Structure 1
Amino acid sequence: MLGKTILKIFVPFLITPVVVFAAPVKDNSFLIEEAYNQEEGVLQFIQGFQYSDRSNDWNYTFTNEIPLGGEAHQISYVIPVNKSLDQNGADQTGIDDVLINYRYQLFNNQMISMAPRLSLIMPTGDYQKGFGSGVLGLQFNQSVSITLNDKWANHWNLGFTYLPDAKNAADQKASLFGYNFASSVVYFMTEKTNLLCEFVFNSQEEVIGEGQKAEGTSYLLVPGIRTAFDVGEETEIVPGLGAVFGLGPSAVEHETGVFVYLSVESKLW
């Protein structure tokens, strides 16, 4: 029901013709990173909402990207909020572990860009309720963006997550390791309206006993559309909408769902 409501609200908005044509849309993918840091003085505020139809679970993230001087150095933070079922089958909602990120623009030219990211995972979630791991963790991600021609772009992500002595709700501990891989293609229908399709793979572990852990994997396919319009001369708003499909082993666990995206990017100094 919620997925259908979101579609009714956003589809007419997304297909509205774009009046202003300036720079092409960049750094506005859904579940993966594009390898472009913010320009000097430009801040980006990103909201993402993912909803699963059958389980009625959802997760929301708020991200703020801040350049340090020029494009070479960028910091950001990510605040996630999740709704899921607890061990007794009751709904619960809470803040998960917050990420503090540093990303370096290794290089950026007309054909290819690379930007490695290193993140601290802060133990802000209530692990006894299933939110977060209860420990300080580390995450690394390497993003690569390739401009194939004036109509197509290709993005790649590869990374890992490490949580030493992570805790579960019973206060049992084990060190957890996970890794991720993602790729997407973007088709520029116009400079401001793009079609995109993302493939995201995640392997993650969870604590199931003292010193014991189990591994789980997810495979997601996310086709979608994004558009952009300018507000004044120095602010760009980018809404996006995607469908979420579980593949292979994830076809049951991750069901189907919807992803809603909204970015506000503005030059503040």
Structure 2
Amino acid sequence: MRGLFFLGILSVFGSMTATAAEVVKDNSFLIEEAYNQEPGVVQFIQAYQYLDPAHEWGYTFTNEIPITDETHQFSYVIPVLKKNGAVGEDDQTQIGDVLLNYRYQLMNTEMIAIAPRFSLIVPSGDYKKGFGNGVAGFQFNQAMSITFNDRWTNHWNAGFTYTPDAKNTIGETASLFGFNFGTSVVYNVTPKTNLLCEFVLNSNEVVAGQDLKETETTYYVVPGIRTAFQAGEETEIVPGIGALLGLGPSAVEHERGVFVYLSIESKLW
């Protein structure tokens, strides 16, 4: 029954995109593809993920803007997080720490694209309620995309995050380090309808006391589907949906959820 439902969704997506020719790019879920925006093309991305059994969710708004050409790109990410309150307290929903990103298109050939990203983490979240670290931080991510043929593409991510003198909710501080790794495979059912399977690992330290740290690690595999259609001559809309399935420690804790994606990409100048 689930298979028939999946095939039904796929057929609808395929019919919506039958006349399209250009392959969808730069629209993965948790993996960063190594393609900067074309000159004058601005991308607006909304992403929502819900996790069970924590019953917590996160929403991000991302805006990618080319700087003169594809070589240089600026973007920012605004996260909104919902966290469960302590016993007897209400749940909290607030903005987290904002990211300001610069990405350099180091290489972009027919087969391989490489784009390192450098990010400033702005302490916009309320650390006293667990929505941020209370100080500025730095993040680096290296994205590489490999196109094997017109059907198969492979993406790789590796990076780290450093936050000096981060604060926990009671003001205790410690310098935190974390790293991320991920890879994905994209199969083009049609140029505009793609199946994705992502694997993402995140290992991050948290402040456990004054100058004390603990490490929290999550592992997810994310199977999903995305499609694209035109809204006018110079605007492309890309919706997508995926499942968040915990692996390793995340599987032991029965972590699972859903990821919903929506991108609007338009040539503005």
TM-score range (shorter-chain normalised) is over 0.9
TM-score, reference length from structure 1: 0.93
Inter-CA distance 224–31: structure 2 relative to 1 (3 Å threshold) = same
Matches within 5 A, 1:7-156: 14=13, 16-88=15-87, 90-156=90-156
Task: Name the amino acid aligned to 1:111.
Answer: M
Q: How does 1:201-216 map to 2 (within 5 A)?
A: 201-216=201-216
State the Cα distance separating 1:55 from its structure 2 match.
Answer: 2.2
Residue identity matched to 1:136: A
**1:14-47 deviations in Å (ceiling 9; x for gaps):** 4653143131000000001000000000000000
Partner SS for 1:243: strand
Distance change (3 Å), C-alpha of 1:12 and 1:147 = closer
**Residue 266 of structure 1, CA deviation:** 0.2
Aligned partners of 2:254, 2:168: CA distance in 1, in Å?
22
How many residues in Structure 1 have an aligned counterpart in Structure 2? 261
| Gap regions ≥5 residues in structure 1 | 1-6
Structure 1 residue matching 2:251: 3-state secondary structure = helix
Q: Identify which range, 237-246 or 82-91, moves more after superposition.
A: 82-91
1:179-218 alignment to 2 at 5 Å?
179-218=179-218
Comparing 43-52 and 248-257, the one that deviates more: 248-257
The Cα shift of 1:253 comes to: 3.8
Give the whole-Å Cα distance in 1 for the aligned partners of 2:182 and 2:137.
21
Residue of structure 2 equivalent to 1:223: 223
Where does the alignment leave 5 or more consecutive residues of structure 2 unmatched? 1-5
Superposed displacement of residue 165, structure 1: 0.1
Change (3 A) 1:57 1:114: same
Residues 66-124 of structure 1: CA deviation (Å, up to 9, x unaligned): 00001000000000001011344641111000000000000100000000000000000
Corresponding residue SS for 1:70: coil
Runs of 4+ in 1 over 6 A off after TM superposition: 10-13
Percent identical residues: 65
**Hey, what's the Cα distance between the residues in 2 that align with 1:105 and 1:66?**
13
Deviation at 1:148, TM superposition (A): 1.0
Contact 1:218 1:254 in 2 (8 A): no
Whether the 8 Å contact between 2:53 and 2:254 is mirrored in structure 1 is no
> Cα deviations across residues 36-62 of structure 1 (Å, max 9, x unaligned)?
000000000000000113222100000
Separation in 2, partners of 1:173, 1:13: 52
**What is the rounded CA distance, in whole Å, between the counterparts of 2:241 and 2:20 in structure 1?**
21
TM-score (norm 2): 0.93
Calculate the aligned-residue CA RMSD, in Å: 1.6
